[in-house]
C-alpha cells in the first residue's frame, strides 16, 4: 500500500510455493468465438451501459488449458459513450461439476490476477473449490495486461526505489520531495487519460460488467489484501449482487492515508518483532541475542546503509545496496514466516562479509524485478495511481514530517518509512475521486472476513473494524504470522472457507483458528 511495502497476497505465496507471482507473459489474446450466456439485467444506476453489460466475451485457448478474453469497459463511467479500455480476463475452468464462476484478486493495488491464476490456480483455491468453480482472473484497469500504467523505465524505477526513504534533514526531505514530484509528473505525461480513472470504484464497476458477461446472477469473489478493499467497494455499490464473498487480510475503505500508513507501520513493527524472536531462538542471529538487541541492530544497520551503502549487490545494474533496497528486502520477509531463515542468512552475509547480494535478491523478489533491471509487471508504479485517487487527504511536506516523527514513537523501525511513503500523492497530476468512507453493504449476501493476528501489511484490527461495519458478515480470526490466511497452511481457516464456497455453509460464528 506504500512505495515499497505493498499489500499483495502473491508476495508471500510466491515465496512459499516457489511461484514467481505476476511473471507469466500473457499471449496476445486473439479473437475467439463469442460465448452465449444468460443475459443479465444491468443493475440500477447503470444508465447508458447496456452495450457493455450485454457484450459477449470471445474466449480463446491460452496457456495450458485456460481461456483468455478481452472485456471492454468505458474509461470514464460518467461518459460511457466516450473512450473505452480493454481489460484482460483469464479463466481456469472448473475441474469437476461446475457451480459457477469465482473472481479472484491477489492484492496490490497492482497485482496481476491473470498471471497469478495462470501460474498457480491450485494455490488460490483448494482442489474441492476448483472442482466447482471457474476461477477468473481479471487485471484491473491500468494493471498487468489491462493497459498498464507505466511512468518510468526500468532504470528510472531502479533509481526511484533506491531513494532514501527516511529523510532526516530538511535537505534530505527536499531531495525526496523533488524525486517524488518528478515521478508524479512522469505518470501524468506517460499514462494518458486513463490515469484519472483507475480508482477502486472504477475497478469495482468493471467487476460488475464482468459478472454480467459471465452470465452470473451474483458475483462470487475471493479478495486478498487490497483485494478486500476492492471487494468491499463492490459490495457497497452492488449489495444485492454479492454472492459467496471472502475478504482475507482487510484494508478498510474508510482509512485515510495517515491511518493506513500508521496502521501498516505498527503491523510491520509487530511482525518484525516476531521475526526477531525467531532469529534469537535460532542461536545464530547476526544482530543480537535478545529481541530488543535485534530490533535496535536492524535499525542501526539500515541507518548505516543510508550513510554507506554496500557495493557488493550481486547485480551490476544496482551498484549500491541502499537503505531503500535493504528495507524492501527486509519487508519482503515479513509477509511470510517461511522467509525468515532466508532473511537471517541475508543479514549474516551483510554483517559478516559486507555482502548485500542476498538481501538484494529479496528486494528484487518483492519488486517483481529481475537482475539487470527488468520488471515483470507494473505494480511498483500503478500502486500510486490507484492510491492517490482513493485518498484525497494526502498531507503537505511539512505534515509528512510531523506524521513521520509521531509514527516513529509507535513504530521505531518502520514508522518514518511508512509515513513518508505517500508523498508522491502530494504532487499527483489528477485529483482524488474516491474519498474514504464506511461501507455497510446492507442487503448483501454473507461476507466472510478473515484477519491474521500478526499480519504486517493488513493489521488484524482492520479486519475487526470491517467486521463491525458490514451489515451481513462473519469474522474468522487466525492466530499466526504472515500476510493473509486462506491457503497458507492453516486447515481450520481453509476448511471453513471451502465449506462456504462449495456448500454455502457459513463458518462458525466468531471462529478462531
Is there a contact between 104 and 130 (Cβ–Cβ < 8 Å)? no
User: Which H or E run includes 383?
Assistant: helix 379-390
Annotation marks residue 4 as catalytic: no
* Dihedral sign (CA 283, 289, 293, 297): negative
Report the C-alpha gap between 313 and 317 in whole angstroms: 9
Among the listed residues 147, 483, 494, 498, the single catalytic one is: 483
Is there a contact between 161 and 380 (Cβ–Cβ < 8 Å)? yes
Report the C-alpha gap between 306 and 167 in whole angstroms: 10
Count other C-beta atoms under 10 Å from residue 338's C-beta: 16
Cell reading at 314:
550481486
Q: Quick check: helix, strand or coil at residue 170?
A: helix
Among the listed residues 180, 208, 455, 498, the single catalytic one is: 455
Cell reading at 294:
535485534
Annotation marks residue 79 as catalytic: no
Burial 106-143 (b: 16+ CB within 10 A, else e): bbbbbbbbbbbbbbbbebbbbebbbebbbbbbbbbbbb
Strand 242-248: give its sheet, edge to edge. Answer: 33-34, 58-62, 66-74, 84-92, 133-138, 100-105, 219-224, 242-248, 447-454, 473-481, 511-512
Count other C-beta atoms under 10 Å from residue 186's C-beta: 18
Report the C-alpha gap between 41 and 360 in whole angstroms: 51
Helix axes 257-282, 291-307, angle to 10 degrees: 120
Cell reading at 224:
486478498
What is the number of H-type helices and E-type strands within the chain? Answer: 19, 15
Report the C-alpha gap between 510 and 475 in whole angstroms: 5
Q: Measured between alpha carbons, how far is residue 199 from residues 110, 203, 426 in Å?
A: 11, 6, 17
Annotation marks residue 145 as catalytic: no
Contacts of 491 (CB under 8 A, 6+ apart): none
Among the listed residues 112, 225, 421, 463, the single catalytic one is: 225
Instruction: Write out the catalytic residue numbers.
Output: 225, 455, 483
Amino acid at each position: 500500500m506504500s512505495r515499497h511495502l505493498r499489500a499483495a497476497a502473491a508476495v508471500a505465496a510466491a515465496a512459499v510455493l516457489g511461484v514467481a507471482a505476476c511473471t507469466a507473459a500473457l499471449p496476445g489474446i486473439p479473437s475467439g468465438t463469442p460465448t452465449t450466456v444468460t443475459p443479465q439485467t444491468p443493475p440500477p444506476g447503470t444508465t447508458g451501459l447496456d452495450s457493455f453489460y450485454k457484450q459477449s466475451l470471445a474466449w480463446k485457448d491460452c496457456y495450458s488449458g485456460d481461456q483468455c478474453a478481452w472485456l471492454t469497459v468505458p474509461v470514464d463511467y460518467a461518459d460511457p459513450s466516450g473512450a473505452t479500455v480493454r481489460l484482460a480476463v483469464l479463466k481456469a475452468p472448473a475441474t469437476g461439476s461446475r457451480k459457477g464462476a469465482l473472481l479472484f484478486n491477489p492484492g496490490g493495488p497492482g497485482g496481476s490476477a491473470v498471471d497469478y491464476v495462470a501460474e498457480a490456480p491450485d494455490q488460490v483455491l483448494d482442489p474441492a473449490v476448483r472442482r466447482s468453480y471457474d476461477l477468473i482472473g481479471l487485471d484491473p484497469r491500468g494493471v498487468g495486461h489491462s493497459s498498464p500504467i507505466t511512468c518510468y523505465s526500468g532504470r528510472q524505477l531502479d533509481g526511484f526505489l533506491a531513494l532514501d526513504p527516511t529523510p532526516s534533514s530538511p535537505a534530505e526531505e527536499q531531495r525526496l520531495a523533488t524525486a517524488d514530484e518528478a515521478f508524479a509528473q512522469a505518470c501524468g505525461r506517460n499514462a494518458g487519460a486513463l490515469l484519472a480513472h483507475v480508482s477502486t470504484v472504477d475497478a469495482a464497476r468493471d467487476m460488475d460488467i464482468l459478472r454480467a458477461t459471465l452470465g452470473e446472477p451474483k458475483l462470487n469473489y475471493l479478495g486478498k489484501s487490497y483485494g478486500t478493499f476492492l471487494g468491499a467497494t463492490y459490495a457497497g455499490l452492488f449489495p444485492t449482487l454479492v454472492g459467496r464473498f471472502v475478504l482475507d487480510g482487510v484494508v478498510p475503505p474508510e482509512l485515510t492515508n495517515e491511518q493506513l500508513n500508521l496502521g501498516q507501520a505498527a503491523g510491520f513493527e509487530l511482525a518484525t518483532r516476531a521475526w526477531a524472536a525467531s532469529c534469537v531462538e535460532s542461536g545464530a542471529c547476526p544482530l543480537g541475542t535478545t529481541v530488543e538487541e535485534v530490533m535496535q541492530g536492524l535499525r542501526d544497520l539500515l541507518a548505516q546503509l543510508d550513510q554507506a551503502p554496500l557495493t557488493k549487490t550481486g547485480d551490476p545494474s544496482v551498484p549500491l545496496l541502499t537503505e531503500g533496497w535493504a528495507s524492501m528486502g527486509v519487508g519482503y520477509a515479513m509477509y511470510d514466516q517461511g522467509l525468515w531463515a532466508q532473511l537471517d542468512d541475508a543479514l549474516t552475509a551483510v554483517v559478516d562479509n559486507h555482502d548485500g547480494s542476498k538481501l538484494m535478491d529479496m528486494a528484487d523478489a518483492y519488486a517483481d524485478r529481475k537482475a539487470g533491471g527488468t520488471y515483470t509487471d507494473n505494480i511498483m508504479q500503478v500502486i500510486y495511481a490507484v492510491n492517490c485517487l482513493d485518498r484525497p487527504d494526502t498531507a503537505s511536506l511539512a505534515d509528512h514530517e510531523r506524521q513521520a516523527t509521531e509514527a516513529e514513537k509507535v513504530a521505531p523501525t518502520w514508522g518514518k518509512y511508512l509515513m513518508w511513503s505517500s508523498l508522491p500523492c502530494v504532487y499527483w497530476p489528477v485529483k482524488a475521486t474516491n474519498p474514504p468512507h464506511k461501507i455497510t453493504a446492507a442487503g448483501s449476501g454473507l461476507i466472510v472476513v478473515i484477519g491474521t493476528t500478526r499480519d504486517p501489511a493488513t493489521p488484524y484490527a482492520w479486519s475487526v473494524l470491517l467486521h463491525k461495519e458490514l451489515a451481513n458478515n462473519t469474522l474468522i480470526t487466525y492466530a499466526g504470522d504472515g500476510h493473509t490466511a486462506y491457503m497458507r497452511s492453516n486447515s481450520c481457516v481453509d476448511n471453513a472457507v471451502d465449506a462456504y464456497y462449495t456448500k454455502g455453509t457459513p463458518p462458525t460464528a466468531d471462529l478462531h483458528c
